[in-house]
Structure 1
C-alpha cells in the first residue's frame, strides 16, 4: 500500500457475539467480542466500533414493541445496516475489521456458483421480530455488503469464529458452534442475489467453504476458525470458556502489533492451535500480506513457516512434502519482526533441520542460543539443500570463477566441472551472459545479461536460483512413504483433466501432455472414492517461471460423498490457459505450462512453493492453511504430487 494512501486513515470494527440461541446456546461468544472490544478501545488512533451481542439471559426477554429493537441486537438487518454505515463512511486506505462469534450453518449447494464439495455457508443471527428465533445471513449476502468497501480499496478483515461442519450433523455437542440447517427458517430477502460478480476469466476468484465469494482476493482477508469439515469449539483458557480462534487472535494482537500482516498473525495462531492440540485447523483466505489494522510494518514478503515449541523441542510446520531437506537452515523470528529478510536481525536466531517427516520437521538451534524460541515464532528459509540436485556449469571464459562459485553457494546452488549439470552459464561475446539448459539450448524467457559489474553477476545468480527452485518444485514427488500406506491412500481418489478436443470430451491422466488452444478452458476433476476427507492444492507453473496458487484459497476440501447432505465426493475446477501477452508481442505462437496438483490426507500449507514471475517480486496475494490433525487411515501423512504438462498454442491463421 502506498504510504500516501494511509495518511489520516480511519479504523472501523463491527463485532457480533451471540450466546442466546434457544437451540444449543453457547457460553463464550459474548465474552469473545467484549474482550476484543476492550483491546480495540485502547488503540490509537481511535477505532469506530459497533458491537452487537445477545447474552444467555436476553433470549427470555421479549420487548413489548418488536419494532423498537435496539440497533445493537445482532439481527440480519442490523448487521447489514452496520456494514452499510461503515461503507458510507470509509474511504480508500481505511481499515475495517468484522468479527463474528456464534453458530454457523450450511445448506446443500443450490446453484452453479455454490461450492459443490462442501455446501453453502450461512451465519446464524437473531430474528428481527422474536428474540428466541433465529435467521440466516447467507455468505453471498455478507460478501456483497463487503464488496463496496473492497472495490474502493478499503482494507477489509473478516474473522469467523464459527463452524459449518458436516460431521456435526450427527452430533449433539453444546460446545460446537454449529446448528443444523433448517429450510423452514427465514433468510433475509433485503438483498437480491446477483450471482458471481467476478469475471469468468478470473480463475482466482474461488474460496473453498465460502460460497459465492465475489470480492477481489487482493483486497480482503478472511480468517476462519476451522475447515468446512471441522468443528469450532469453546475450550477453556485461563479457567473460562473461549472461542479458540478469538482467544489466540487476541493473544497474537496483544503480543504483536496491529500492523503485523495477516500472514504473521495466522502463523502465530496456527502454531498455538498445534501446541494446544485443539482439533481445529484455522484457515486464512485472501490477501495474507495486508496488515491487520494498520499500514504494514514492512514490505518484506518472504515466505514463512510457523514454529511450535514443546518441552524445549522445536518443530517446523513444513516437511518432505514441501521440499524441506535435512540440513536446511532457517531464520527464526518472533511475531511482528520488522525485517524478516535480514539474517542479522536483533532478536532472531538461526536453526537447521535435523529430521524431516511428511508435513513437519525437527529444528535445532545453531551454536549457543541465549534467545528463547517460543511457539508462534516464524521461520524463513536461508538455505535449501534440495537445490543441490541441479548443479550449475560455468563457461571457462567467465572470469573470477571462485567468486561466482561463492555467490552460487550462497543461493544453495552447487557448481559442476563437467556433465551432468542442469544449467550452463555461458558468455556470448565479451560480456553478454546467457543461461542454457543441460542440452545447451537457451532457456526460454530468460534474459541475456551484460556483465558490467557485481550487481549484474548477482542478477545472473538470482536468475539461476529462481530456475532451480522452479525445477525442484516441478520434480517434487512422494518417494519416501511406505507402499503399505501409500497404496491405500493413492487408491482413495481418482484425478484427471477433461476438455473438449475435436468436438469430443477427452480425459487426460497425470503425466500426459494436454494441448489446448489459446483461451481454452479445461476442467480439473478429483473424485474422492474413499472414506476420509481429502485436501487438494492446485498450482500453475507457467512459461514465465511463475508458480501460482490458482485456487487462491490454498486448498479445497473434498469430503467423502454424502447422499444425505447432497454434497461431497467430487471436486471440479475450471482453468483457462492463455499464451502470455508478453510472449504474443514477441511473436511466440505457443508456450508450455505445468499444472501441479498436491493431494493430502490432512490440511497443510504449500506457500513455500510459490514463486513470482522471473525478475519480479511476489504479489501481495495468496493464502495459508494449517496442518490439522490427520483423520484418515494413512498414518495421517498421506500425500501425492501430480503434474499435467500443458501446451498452449495459437492456431495458425488460414490464408
Structure 2
C-alpha cells in the first residue's frame, strides 16, 4: 500500500510552520526561542499531499518562517506576505473558506510554539482567565499578537458552517522548560500578559466569539483544552500533547540530525502505511504508541469525529480498543511481552485478556484478523505489561501501535475474605484463621492492601451482637438467605469456611460470561418472559402468548410461587446452537433447569426460537442464565446444591475440549488457577445471557 498513489479528491490544505521567531522579549522577560524542525515538518507534509495524495499545489496555502542564517535565527528567510503572522494566518483561514467548495476536505497543520497569555476576553473568561493559542513569528514585535483560542475556534467554526470537512493537527505545546539531550520543546516558559495593541482587530465581534466559545464549553464541561482548542464534535483534532505537557521535536534521522516534531513525524509515517477504511482513531492509536514509547512525558490527544475515515466523509463503527505501546522481550525468559495503554483506571485486573489486531486492520470483530492474545501480568495505573501467546497457525508478529480489544476480563477463582476488626471477636476470628488454610478457594486478606491489589476483598466476616458469624459482601452488607452460625458452635469455623468456598463457586458461575465482542455469537441470544400460567402441567402443549397471563412490569418480572413462567429463547445467529438453561437461585444453588436430567442441551436452529416452561418453586430473586455453544458442552459442571448441603463430585466424564475444562475448573476441590480465563479457547464459539426473575409467595 505504501508504494501506491492514493488520490484524495477535493482536498485543500493550510500549512503553517515557524522556525524563526523574530527578536522578542516578552513583558515578563521570557522569550520564544527559535526552533529547528517546524518548517521541515510543513515541507514534509506538503510533499506527502502533493506526491502521495495528488493534491494540486494551488490548493495548498503555506505560511513559513525559515531560518536564513544559523547565526541569526531570529531573521526569517521568507518575504512578509509569506510569514505566519497573526493577520496572515487569519487571512489564510478566510481564503481557504472562500476557495474550498462545500463538501471539500480541509486539512490544517501547525508546527511551532504554543503559548499562554493573560486573557484579552475578561468578559468571557473572567479577569484571571488564560488565553491559549498559536505563537506567530513576530510575537516579540510591537505588532505581534497570539492567534488565541477564541480566534482559532471561531475560524474553524466558519469552515464547518460552510459544510467543509475539517481536520486539524497542532504540533505545539503550552509549557516549556529545560531539557536534556537532543530534544527541543515547542512551548513558552510562562504566561504572557501582553495586551492587544490598538488597531489589532478580533476575528469576530466579542458577542459572536462568546457564543461560539460558550457552545463548545457546554459540550465539554471539563474544559479540556489541548493546545488551546476545546473539544468539538464537528471536526477532527490531533494535538501533540496535553496542556501541561511538552511537545518535542527530535532528530529522528541520526545521520542528517534533521529535526521533526514527534507528532508530525509519526503522523506522516503512519499515513504512508494507511490502508483503505482506516479511521482517525486508527491513525491516532499508532501515533500515540510511537510517541509515548519515546517521550513518556508527551501524551497526544485526539478529539472530535475520530471515527471518520482518514481524508474521507464516511464513519466507521468504533470498537473500543487500546494501543500496544511497546513490544519487548523478557530478559530472563526470552518470551515476548507487550505494554498496553490500559490499567487500573480502566477497571481491568491481572489476568484480563486482550486480542491483538494489526494496526492496518479495520475489522476488529473478525477473529481471523487476530495475531495474538495478551494477558495482563503486571498492572499499572494507566499501562499494563502483558504476556503474549500466539494464535494457532499464525506468526507472533506484533508492532507498536497495534490495537488490543478486551476479550476476557478474567474471573477470580481464589477470593479474599476480610475479618472486620472487633475486640470481642478475637477468639472467633482466631478459629477462622486456623480453619482457612488448605481450602484452596478462599484466603485471608492481608491487613495492608497494596496499590496493585486488583483482586481486593470479596467478602467480609463479622460477628453480630447475637454472637453469630455474618458473611457480608465487600461493602459490608450481610448476605440474605444464610442461616446464622453461633460462634460457640463446635464446628462453627469449619462451617463458615465451607460456606465461603460455596459462595466463591456460586459467584464464579454468576460472573461467567464471554465478553468477546469479536465472537460471531455476541448478542445473538434474545431472551423474553412471555407470561405465566397457573394451570399448565408438564406434558401439555406450550400455550400461545395470547393465552398466558402477561407480566405486569417486564423490566422487573415477578411471578407467584406455584405458577409456570414461559421463557422465549431466540437464536438470531446463522448457525444452530446448543442451549442449556441454568437457575442461579437465591438459596445459593445453581441448577440446570432445562433440559432436565439425561440431556445436556437442546438445539435451536439458526433463526428459530424455543419457548420453555419454568416452574416457580421457591420464593426469592433468581437469575436465569442461558448458555449457547456451537459444539457440545456440559454445563452441569456448574451445578451447586443449596448453601448448607454437601457439594458432591459430579462424576461427569471430561470431554477434553477447552470449554468443558473451563467449566470443570469451578467444580474442582482445588482451583487449577487463581483466575479463570473465559477466552481460553479462541477456536470455540459460545455465548451466554441472563435474565432476572422474582418469585413471590
For Structure 1 versus Structure 2, the TM-score category normalised by the shorter chain is 0.5 to 0.7
User: Residue 16 of structure 1 contacts residue 99 of structure 1 at CA under 8 Å; is this kept in 2?
Assistant: yes
1:552-598 alpha-carbon deviations (Å, 9 max, x no partner) = xxxxxxxxxxxxxxxxxxxxxxxxxxxxxxxxxxxxxxxxxxxxxxx
Aligned to 1:338: 362
Residues 363 and 435 of structure 1, relative CA distance in 2, 3 Å threshold: farther
Instruction: For residue 258 of structure 1, report the CA deviation from its aligned partner.
Output: 8.0
Q: Distance in 1 between matches of 2:510 and 2:574?
A: 11
| Counterpart secondary structure, 1:255 | coil
The structure-2 alpha-carbon separation of the partners of 1:170 and 1:348, relative to structure 1 and needing over 3 Å to count, comes to: closer
Residue 354 of structure 1 is matched in structure 2 by 377
List per-residue Cα deviations over 1:317-340 (Å, max 9, x = no partner). Answer: 101221223333322122231211
Matched residue, 2:166? 156
- The alpha-carbon deviation at position 55 of structure 1 amounts to 0.8
1:411 to 511, 515, 518: 515
Whether contact under 8 Å (1:164, 1:229) holds in the other structure is: yes
**CA distance 1:45–1:406, shift in 2 (3 Å):** farther
Distance change (3 Å), C-alpha of 1:274 and 1:169: closer
Offset at 1:452?
Answer: 7.5
Name 2:410's counterpart in structure 1: 385
Contact in 1 for aligned 2:84/2:136 (Cα 8 Å)? yes
Once the two structures are superposed, residues 185-217 of structure 1 have per-residue CA deviations (whole angstroms, 9 ceiling, x without a partner) of 6564142332132676983245422599588x2
- Give the stretch that moved more between structures: 326-335 or 94-103: 326-335
Q: Is the 8 A contact 1:18 1:102 kept in 2?
A: yes
What root-mean-square deviation, in Å, do the aligned CA atoms of Structure 1 and Structure 2 show? 4.5
Match of 1:49 in 2: 60
Out of 25, 28, 36, the position equivalent to 2:37 is 28
- Confirm or deny that 1:455 pairs with 2:596: no
- More displaced stretch, 321-330 vs 109-118: 109-118
Change beyond 3 A, Cα 1:366–1:85: same
| CA shift for structure 1 position 74 | 1.3
| SS of corresponding position for 1:344 | helix
SS at 1:156's partner residue? strand
Give the 3-state SS of the residue equivalent to 2:109 in structure 1. Answer: strand
Give the counterpart of 2:285 among 245, 267, 270. Answer: 267
- Residue equivalent to 2:89: 79
Q: Deviations over 1:347-380 (max 9, x none)?
A: 6433333332322222233345513101111111
> Conserved in 2, the CA contact under 8 Å of 1:17 and 1:30?
yes
Quote the residue 2:240 is aligned against.
225
How far apart in 2 are the matches of 1:43 and 1:95? Answer: 16
Rounded Cα–Cα distance in structure 1 between residues aligned with 2:38 and 2:514: 50
From 180, 184, 187, the equivalent of 1:175 is 184
| 2:183–2:250 CA contact under 8 A, matched in 1 | no
SS of 1:380's equivalent?
Answer: strand
Q: TM-score, normalised by structure 2?
A: 0.51
Counterparts in 2 of 1:439-518, with a 5 A limit? Answer: 451=568, 453-455=570-572
- Shift in Å, 1:61: 5.7
The answer to whether 1:370 aligns with 2:385 is: no
Taking structure 1 as reference, are residues 200 and 375 closer, same or farther at Cα in structure 2, changes over 3 Å only?
closer
- From the CA coordinates, give the structure whose radius of gyration is larger: 2
Kindly indicate whether residue 224 of structure 2 is the aligned counterpart of residue 208 of structure 1. Answer: yes
The Cα of 1:439 is off from its aligned counterpart by 8.3
Q: Which has the higher contact order (CA 8 A, sep 6+)?
A: 1
Is contact 1:19-1:55 (8 Å) kept?
A: yes
What displacement does 1:386 show? 6.4
- Alignment CA distance shift 1:336-1:427 (3 Å): same
Q: Paired residue for 2:294, among 252, 276, 293?
A: 276
- Displacement of 1:437: 11
Counterpart of 2:351 in structure 1 is 327
Distance in 2 (alpha carbons) for counterparts of 1:236 and 1:351: 33
Give me the TM-score of the superposition, normalised by structure 1. Answer: 0.54
Task: Describe the superposition over 1:615-636 as per-residue Cα deviations: whole angstroms up to 9, x where unpaired.
Answer: xxxxxxxxxxxxxxxxxxxxxx
Name structure 1 gaps, 5 residues minimum: 1-6, 391-404, 414-423, 443-448, 459-655
Contact 2:376/2:386 (8 A) holds in 1: yes
Distance in 2, Cα, partners of 1:92 & 1:211:
27
Match for residue 339 of structure 2? 315
* Counterpart position of 1:253: 271
**Separation of aligned partners in 2, 1:201 and 1:276:** 33
Change (3 A) 1:152 1:201: closer
**CA distance change for structure 1 residues 434 and 220 in 2, over 3 Å: closer, same or farther?**
farther
| 1:328–1:232 CA distance, 2 compared to 1 (3 A) | same
